[in-house]
Amino acid sequence: MKIILKCLVLLQEYKLFFFLSLNNKEKLLFNKIIMLTTFISLDLLFLIPEIFLIFSIIIILIYSIFISTKYTLLNNKKYNTPIITTIITNLIIFTSFILIILYSQNLTNFQILFNGQFIISYYTQIGKIFIFGITILCLLTFNSYLKNNQINNYEYLILILISILSICLLLNTNDLLHYYIIIELQSLCFYTITALKKNNIYSSEAGLKYFILGSIISGLLLLGIALLYGMTGLTNLKELSIFLLTTTSNKLIIFSFILIYTSLLFKLTIAPFHIWAPDVYEGTPSIITLFFNSVPKFSLLLIFIKILNVVFFNFINIWQILLTINILLSLIIATFNTFKQYKIKRFLIFSSMTHIGYIILGITTGTIEGIQSAFVYLIIYLLSILNIWSIYSYLNNKIKYLSDLSYLYSYNKTLGLSFIITMFSMAGVPPMAGFLAKFYSFFVCIENNFILLACIGILLSIICLFYYIRFLKIIYFEKTNNFLILTHNLSKTTAFVISLTSILLIYLFINPSPIFILAHKLALSLCL
């Protein structure tokens, strides 16, 4: 990176010698060309990871077309998806290294690109590194899932790569209109990925439901942005934040905010806009559900915080009330619906809704500490779902109901222990990292005089503890004479993901300082 910057400086120095030999018109034209070249070079320099992903997608598409044609013509059913999976995984790893190099060269300082359309900040770079890390862990599990189920649709892996590109662009952009376009690109990938098992009626139904409801919400998002632009003439987030800070409350602006706010709640599956999630996620293959519940949630939460605490901070009295109502609805509805579930997958879906409510609990305060608590909880929550969904995707064909978990201990004692560790972390039982996440969220709420909200959250957390303890009873104390028989062994990559996440859930309780420091820096970078 230093070599590139030195070359640009030398180009500027060489320009002086050539400039003297030109006439006035040629000098004017030459200045415009040099300014354009320098502008593009310097701006594109900070978008190297995204550019690399774009070219990689194009190359993989061409490569996969030839593979598909070859095997179709030969009528060969050879399973070749791991080739594409390995390529995509290596590309993401290489892109992560590019981001780390950029960070090491002090290029993560705040930068404004393309006249304010894109920004580079601490939260964008660290956020992308974190997203790439989660994606790598998901792909390690994804590879074994495709192999065990003999799924040979490489197109879905390319769609995942496109969705990762859209998430990176979503973090970089600083314009509401770009938000809409990028979220639509991401959603189009997810609509298709949801129906991965096209011969399965539940998977097809999930894809159709997600497409219809997602399209309606996208329309509401576009309407909210259009109304806001009509009232202010602005779509840039920085300019909007300055304008709205000096503007008195306007009914049309408030209405546009509610539309944007509602669309983001739908994406985050927060009540009462969660109705679609149980049916869609249940019909979606388990490994895709793992991806849905991890990578997009992180980026959407960043955008959600930025919209509330930067753009619409002047309306804090309004969105604090709305957010409090939505949190209480999410916690109450999800908690009591979880008791009714007998299927593991639906149980995990409603359980994730409660955790989303706890994540945004701190955001309600409108403080840096509250946003920090949200990031702490989110990171620990992502580690938990990576563990639990990796185990479930491996056992998906044999275990569907809660009572089936009684076979788990007799089949593999290590998997049973890892399952219990994760469940206790999600319940907030020490010495698991989930305890620190919940404790810090409640502490921030009490410190900022949201005592009633914190008390209700603590009460519901205690209630949640009972259905998490139920897993301990089923796995270790319910006897069964049957044995779990699987046709495939646990892959080394899946075992690595399960082991790593289990160890981190215990380690972060013993030494939580790294995650707290990271969350604090993310919160400061996002709001300043």
pLDDT one-digit tens code per residue, 253-274: 888 888 999 888 888 888 888 8
12 and 95 fall within a common domain: no
29 and 97 fall within a common domain: no
50 and 25 fall within a common domain: no
pLDDT of amino acid 12: 46
Query: Both tokens of residue 44?
Result: 């594109």
Angle between the 295-306 and 122-149 helix axes, to the nearest 10 degrees? 150
Structural domain that includes position 10: 2-39
Indicate the pLDDT class of residue 1, thresholds 50, 70 and 90. very low
pLDDT at 24 over 80: no
33 and 179 fall within a common domain: no
59 and 25 fall within a common domain: no
| Cβ burial 324-357 (10 Å sphere, 16+ → b, else e) | bebbbbbbbbbbebbeebeebbbbbbbbbbbbbb
- Sequence-separated (6 or more) residues with CB below 8 Å from residue 128: 49, 99, 168, 171
Angle (CA) 419-420-425 rounded to 5° is 100
Residue 390 belongs to a domain: yes
121 vs 20: which has the higher pLDDT: 121
Number of domains, the chain? 2
377 and 516 fall within a common domain: yes
Question: What integer is the mean pLDDT of 167-172?
Answer: 84
pLDDT of amino acid 395: 76
315 and 435 fall within a common domain: yes
pLDDT at 22 over 60: no
Residue 130 belongs to a domain: yes
Query: Both tokens of residue 6?
Result: 């030195």
pTM given for the model: 0.85
How far apart CA 95 and CA 101 sit, in angstroms, is 10
Residue 112 belongs to a domain: no
Query: Both tokens of residue 391?
Result: 């185990």
26 and 152 fall within a common domain: no
- Cα–Cα distances in angstroms (integers) from residue 182 to residues 167, 176, 383, in the given order: 8, 10, 26
How far apart CA 479 and CA 474 sit, in angstroms, is 8
77 and 19 fall within a common domain: no
How far apart CA 371 and CA 379 sit, in angstroms, is 13
Residue 80 belongs to a domain: yes
Residue 158 belongs to a domain: yes
Which H or E run contains 11? helix 2-19
Residue 286 belongs to a domain: yes
What tens digit of pLDDT does each residue of 438-496 get? 889 899 999 888 888 889 888 988 888 888 888 778 877 776 655 555 556 777 878 88
31 and 61 fall within a common domain: no
- Sequence-separated (6 or more) residues with CB below 8 Å from residue 520: 368, 372
pLDDT of amino acid 115: 74
341 and 361 fall within a common domain: yes
Which H or E run contains 471? helix 451-477
Give residue for tokens 């598409």. 61
- Are 387 and 505 spatial neighbours (Cβ–Cβ below 8 Å)? yes
Which H or E run contains 15? helix 2-19
Give backbone dihedrals phi and psi of 256, rounded to 5 degrees, phi first: -65, -40
Residue 201 belongs to a domain: yes
136 and 213 fall within a common domain: yes
How far apart CA 35 and CA 17 sit, in angstroms, is 17
- Are 290 and 389 spatial neighbours (Cβ–Cβ below 8 Å)? yes
Residue 516 belongs to a domain: yes
80 secondary structure, DSSP code? -
| Cβ burial 95-123 (10 Å sphere, 16+ → b, else e) | bbebbeebeeeebbeeeebbeebbbbbbb
